[in-house]
A and B are shown apart, each in its own frame.
Chain A
Amino acid sequence: GENVEQHPSTLSVQEGDSAVIKCTYSDSASNYFPWYKQELGKRPQLIIDIRSNVGEKKDQRIAVTLNKTAKHFSLHITETQPEDSAVYFCAAASYGKLTFGQGTILTVHP
């Protein structure tokens, strides 16, 4: 089955800095890669996603890149704000089944 590795497990940045989270996947059949943000005690919420026929996607301060050859994808958050503090999960979908990474705890210090 699919295996998704996510790094780093914790990330601490100053407000205004950029944050980058990286994920690798194992199943070459995976074709959809969503990123979820989960605040403490809350449900995961989709923040951005990318399909396998696209190399990069941007939505305001958030961008995701995908390298299918290397089987890795990354989340980039620019101009971070304290409200960006949360746990971020990457995921890969193979035949409709989502496999999640272990999560990254992002802390943005004011």
Chain B
Amino acid sequence: EAGVAQSPRYKIIEKRQSVAFWCNPISGHATLYWYQQILGQGPKLLIQFQNNGVVDDSQLPKDRFSAERLKGVDSTLKIQPAKLEDSAVYLCASSLATGGHNEQFFGPGTRLTVL
């Protein structure tokens, strides 16, 4: 089966610019996650969707980050405006359903560098 797809794979922007990332989960997976992985750290959950509804966005910096999952399939994560500390790999993951017992499958990530 096809895995989680993400684009772009790499992005370099100046601080205060905007950027958007795209994720296409595994077909049939109801739950979609966006994680931020800063170099040398574990992934940190930013937002979790169940179909097209938000389940958890408690760690999303809402003053600059936004995400949507229209039609409950693809998702986009946007940063506006970007700060230097946003430099990280942004990982998208999906699972069959919400719940701690469902394996999360990760995409290849988007490496963001903010200059």
Contacts and interface: CB of A to CB of B under 8 A. Distances in A.
Nearest to B56: A97
Given A34-B103, A95-B100, A96-B98, A42 B108 contact: yes
A8 to B, nearest CB: 14
Interface in B89-110: 91, 98-101, 103-109
Interface residues of B, number: 23
A31 B58 CA distance: 20
Chain A interface residue bracket vs B: 20 to 34
Interface string A87-110: 001010111111111110000000
A98 B104 contact: yes
Interface stretch (B14-22, B42-50, B68-76): B42-50
B115 interface: no
Interface of B: 33, 40-45, 48, 55-56, 58, 91, 98-101, 103-109
Interface of A: 1, 4, 6, 30-32, 34, 42-46, 49, 51, 89, 91, 93-103
